[in-house]
Chain A
Amino acid sequence: MLLVGLVFLGPLAYVVWRNVELGTDLVAVIWDRETLEPLVRSLWLASTVAVSSAVVGTALAWLTVRSDLPARRFWKLLAPLPLVFPSFVGATALIAGFAPGGLAEELLSVVGGGSVPDVRGFRGAWLVLTLFTYPYVYLPVAARLAALPPSLEESSRLLGRSPFGVFRSVVLPQTAPAVWAGSLVVFLYAVSDFGAVALLGYDTLAEQVYADRLFNQPRAMGLSLVLAVVALIVIAGERAYERRHRVSELAARSAHPLIVPLGRWRPVAFAGVLVFLGSALIGPLAVFGFWAWRGVTSTSTSVGVATDFGDLLVPTLHSAQAGLITAVVAIAALLPLAWAIARYRSRRAGVANAMVAAGFALPGVVVALSLVFWVIDTPGVSIWYQTMPLLITAYVLHFGTLASRVTRVAVEAVPAQLGEAASTLGARRIRRFLTVELPLMMPGLLAGGGLVLLSTMKELPITLLLAPIGFDTLATKIWGAGEAGALAQGALASLLLVALSAVLTWAVVVRRIEEF
């Protein structure tokens, strides 16, 4: 476990080393209006996105798992998918739809005109990040709700509480750790994202790192360190809070989670879900569908409308391969850490956990370069340079926190006494783990794996720099098409990416969360 922690130290240690090597004047870099203003914007954006994602993600999870929402299986399939849009792709779709002169304005002009709200700046960045990151909350909360023993709610109801009262006194406290875990991930993601904020013109710290990455490396590295420190402070703060507020959680195997009838709120809830998922998923898909259709039906061979479906088949396989392997490795590598934190509250595990989180808050380029730095001249490991094992390692370093946070919630929900009871009955430790504890944690583990899967499939800079030559993914194809102005081909690849995510999350995550 210490070794795992040590590997996770890699990116942060690299950033510190580069700052020393370049002689970055950290005080001058940080104590500057051009740094502090973007920093405040980063924190403001990340906080607001975390709050809105928490609200939307929790509400959607409850509606799809515990209520009689119409077409709930369908929504359950769609709800995690917006996460797979690379944020620059989501922002592009939003701008095409809602910017002045965009598709929405055209539609409005047909029905007599009207003004479209301005999507640039803070509002646009907040909207795009909320629409495309709420699954970080949705998936763990849905998994938690599926594992919540119905007996708790039933007894609460027998005590005469109203459905809302049951929600507040039983469901909310039991899901709070999952909501926290998800919101924290959203916060860290929003801090590190630059694709959407750059396109929407909201100047954050991550965007400054991006602008300075080549020609002002001391500042870029100084700011990267600031990003990592922000992550560490947030994680430390969360741990301190956690120590003081701890609810005892319970998980149980239940084939039939309690379904709450929505009654007269049913149409309202349905409309709400329709509008939200319409904006997060169906809207962008419609824009891509339009571009791709225009390409497929066109006879022109010019780069803007040319499409080549065959060129995307192998990248589709590569995306699936990278995502699935990374998800499995991440869960396997971080389960022991999550276990140590949840069960033994070890301080060392707490530090390792903070390192894992820092890897998520650092921009992907920095994580990739750190691996280049550590591996390329190191005897014994240099033969792995730009191979699949190294690529997977880089993904795990970047996305490990997605697995560890959600996994921890899953571990915490397994009553420690359960294992002890089994132990006194003579079951051996490993068997006990496999037969008693693992199945109880499974929904949580799958949710964590799902987050890693979707995040890996949209990852770009690490893939471009560290993948074996020729290992194209759908994300690199979308990027390449964007750079070349191949609108139709990029749209086609985006549609394929969403379709692939739908198939994989359904087969591997959503369907199985219900089985356990």
Chain B
Amino acid sequence: MSCGDGGSGDGSSLTVYSGRTEDLIGPLLEQFSNETGIDVEVRYGDSAELALLLQTEGSSSPADVFISQSPGALGLLAGEGMLAELPDDLTGRVSEGFAGSDHTWVGITGRVRVLVYNKDLVDPADLPQTVLDLAKDAYSGRVAVAPTNGSFQDFVTAMRSELGDQVTVEWLEGLAANQSPNYPKNSAIVEAVARGEVEMGLVNHYYNLRALEADPALASVNYFFPADDVGSLVIVTGGSVLASSDSQSAGEQLLAWLLSEDVQATFVTETQEYSLLPGAGRPEGVPELSGFAADTIDYDVLGGGLTATIEIIRESGIER
């Protein structure tokens, strides 16, 4: 199999590797295919594993477009020179800061870090004003974390770039000393908080919104940190075109379509994520997208700095 996907020339077909699951993007890709006549084939998988696959495939990859759930996986591939530079009118569609500074990827949707808590167990007056407070004794044993999860790692990387390694390490060691319960992923934390197994947990905002859809009686509530706190970091999902693709323009067309107003509105209502377009609406019951992320966090640091972040997280002892 040579470069691209063996389709008959540019624009007629696209192969997409998608870290977003089929439920969350499949129908949209089908709609794109119907509207444009471009045939879209999709391989779904875990973002990190698809990034590993792309890295191993190298320039022979059949993929034209990579859609990732986390900026870290995009940063890794960008660092290896595997992503094509996108045109300015594409990266310029989203608010500033939500595209790679080297223009190799563009944000598609945003998720906000929150503290999910059990309303039967936690007095709202006890909620912290900053995520840094969670390392204090008062929160000992009460806050669940997912230290091996990509979102948590992205968050810690942001904290390092914002507050420096020393503050970050002290915060992690505080959480470790607090014996903060460990979970492998966000959804497991939300379930545990809803059951009352643990009082609070650091997660992305939409997991609890979906859990409440399935069962509105759940006791779990999202708490958004103040907008100027690093705790309210925005984590983007992003799209990129592979440098090895011979369907570059069709790939760019797909990304532009995903950033069109109609499709962005679908993300807001269907998957309850934030749109990254300037002035776009937002999911019901969530605060405005502001504060951290926009132009304060350099997402490229998130990619390149993740190896060190993982090391720092591990050495803090929080995983034990």
Q: Which residues of A are at the interface with B, using a C-beta cutoff of 8 A?
A: 34, 95-96, 99-102, 198-199, 201, 203, 207, 210-216, 300, 302-305, 365, 368-369, 372-373, 376-377, 382-383, 385-386, 461, 464-465, 469-470, 476, 480-488
Contact = CB atoms under 8 A, between A and B. Distances in A.
Contacts, number: 131
Nearest to B195: A101
Given A382-B1, A465-B49, A482 B188 contact: no
B197 A465 contact: no
A372 B45 CA distance: 16
B51 interface: yes
Interface in B33-56: 41-46, 48-53, 56
A215 B23 contact: no
A34 B306 CA distance: 18
Nearest to B73: A214
Contacts of A215: 72, 76, 153, 306-307, 309-310
Contact of A99 (B41, B182, B195): B195
B210 A100 contact: no
Given A100-B197, A480-B44, A483-B21, 10 more contacts: A99-B195, A101-B197, A199-B183, A212-B310, A302-B214, A303-B210, A464-B46, A465-B50, A469-B43, A485-B210
Contacts of B229: none
Contacts of B1: 376, 382-383, 385-386
B22 A480 contact: yes
Contact of A485 (B60, B194, B214, B307): B214
B210 A203 contact: no
24 contacts: A99-B192, A99-B197, A100-B195, A199-B188, A203-B320, A211-B148, A213-B48, A214-B306, A215-B310, A303-B23, A304-B210, A365-B52, A372-B53, A373-B56, A376-B58, A464-B43, A465-B45, A465-B49, A470-B41, A480-B21, A480-B44, A483-B46, A484-B21, A487-B214
B307 to A, nearest CB: 5
B315 to A, nearest CB: 8
A192 B207 CA distance: 29
Nearest to A487: B214
B100 to A, nearest CB: 17
Given A198-B148, A304-B213, A373-B56, A480 B23 contact: yes
A215 B152 CA distance: 14
A216 B57 contact: no
Contacts of B53: 368-369, 372, 465
A210 B147 CA distance: 12
Nearest to B1: A385
What secondary structure prevails in chain A residues at the interface with B?
helix
Contacts of A482: 187
Contacts of B187: 482, 485
Contacts of B195: 99-102
Nearest to A302: B213
Interface in B106-124: none
B141 to A, nearest CB: 13
Given A214-B52, A303-B213, A201 B183 contact: yes
- Give the 9 A-B residue pairs with the shortest CB-CB distance, closest first: A304-B214, A101-B195, A302-B213, A198-B184, A485-B210, A211-B148, A464-B45, A484-B23, A215-B306
A305 B44 contact: no
A368 B54 CA distance: 12
A214 B213 CA distance: 33
**Which of B15, B148, B320 lies at the interface centre, i.e. has the most chain A CB atoms within 10 A of its CB?**
B148
B194 to A, nearest CB: 8
Interface string B53-79: 100111010100000000011001000
A513 B91 CA distance: 62
Contacts of B196: 100-101
Contacts of A484: 21-24, 210
Given A102-B195, A376-B60, A216 B46 contact: no
B319 A203 contact: yes
B262 interface: no
Contacts of A203: 319-320
Interface string B215-230: 1000000000000000
**Which of A198, A214, A368, A484 lies at the interface centre, i.e. has the most chain B CB atoms within 10 A of its CB?**
A214
Nearest to A120: B181
B44 A199 contact: no
A214 B51 contact: yes
B211 interface: yes
A465 B76 CA distance: 18
B56 A486 contact: no
B136 interface: no
Contacts of A304: 210-211, 213-215
Given A214-B52, A304-B213, A486 B23 contact: yes
Contacts of A382: 1, 60
B198 to A, nearest CB: 8
A469 B15 contact: yes
A34 B52 contact: no
Contacts of B48: 213-214
A212 B43 CA distance: 23
